[in-house]
């Protein structure tokens, strides 16, 4: 879904415990096994740590560096652009897991944008980001469910 200042994946149900989904999200070394939108991720899921990722916006993977800004184990991780004052675009990507019961959960990914060029950027890239987030969610679902089923 695309709004005036954000892009999100569809909220999906994953038939695996929230802990397994969380573990897959934090297993950066294995992103290439399931995440076609971001097939490479290097870094540590610790607030302040840089994350070097290869993001495929349709023209092949390109390097992007963001920083972990929030970690709530088994529920939420957020990484953000450097977001210096005066930057034309600020972005914060949140991945949220909401347990349904012991063996399933909901997942959604949301990127919130602000800054002078956020609107034009969303007009130009919003649909590409939305597709990437939905592809990421589908890959996460497939990977987590396969791990859970053994």
Q: Which of 2, 33, 19 is nearest to 118 (CA)?
A: 2
106/108 Cα distance (integer angstroms): 7
For residue 150, the model assigns a pLDDT of 86
Q: What is the pLDDT of residues 58-91, one digit of tens each?
A: 888 999 999 999 999 999 999 999 878 888 999 9
Q: What is the pLDDT of residues 44-61, one digit of tens each?
A: 999 999 999 999 988 889
For residue 102, the model assigns a pLDDT of 98
Q: Would residue 83 count as lying in a domain?
A: yes
Task: Provide the 8-state DSSP code for 88.
Answer: S
Q: Would residue 114 count as lying in a domain?
A: yes
Residues near 95 by beta carbon (within 8 Å), at least 6 away in sequence: 25, 76, 77, 78, 107, 108, 109
CATH of the domain at 79: 3.30.530.20
Q: Would residue 133 count as lying in a domain?
A: yes
- How many domains are there within the chain? 1
Q: Would residue 102 count as lying in a domain?
A: yes
Q: Would residue 1 count as lying in a domain?
A: no
For residue 85, the model assigns a pLDDT of 81
Q: Which domain holds residue 22?
A: 6-149
Helix (H) or strand (E) holding 115: none
Q: What is the pLDDT of residues 83-122, one digit of tens each?
A: 788 889 999 999 999 999 999 999 999 999 999 999 999 9
- φ/ψ region of 144 (left if φ > 0, alpha if ψ in -120 to 50, else beta) reads alpha
Q: Would residue 121 count as lying in a domain?
A: yes
Q: Which of 92, 90, 22 is nearest to 51 (CA)?
A: 92
pTM of the model: 0.94
For residue 84, the model assigns a pLDDT of 81
Q: What is the pLDDT of residues 6-44, one digit of tens each?
A: 999 999 999 999 999 999 999 999 999 999 999 999 999
Question: The tokens of 89 are what?
Answer: 């675009």
What would the DSSP string read from start to end of 87-123? -S-EEEEEEEEEEEETTEEEEEEEEEEESTTHHHHHH
Largest CA distance in the chain: 49
């Amino acid at each position: 879904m695309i709004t005036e200042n954000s892009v999100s994946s569809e909220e999906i149900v994953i038939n695996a415990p929230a802990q397994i989904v969380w573990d897959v999200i934090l297993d950066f070394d294995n992103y290439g096994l399931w995440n076609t939108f971001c097939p490479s991720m290097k870094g540590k899921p610790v607030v302040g740590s840089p994350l070097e990722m290869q993001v495929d916006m349709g023209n092949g993977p390109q390097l992007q560096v963001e920083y972990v800004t929030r970690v709530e184990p088994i529920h939420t991780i957020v990484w953000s652009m450097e977001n210096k004052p005066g930057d034309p675009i600020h972005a914060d990507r949140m991945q949220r897991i909401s347990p349904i019961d012991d063996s399933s959960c909901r997942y959604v990914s949301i990127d919130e944008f602000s800054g002078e060029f956020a609107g034009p950027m969303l007009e130009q890239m919003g649909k590409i980001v939305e597709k990437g987030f939905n592809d990421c969610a589908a890959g996460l679902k497939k990977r987590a469910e396969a791990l859970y089923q053994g």
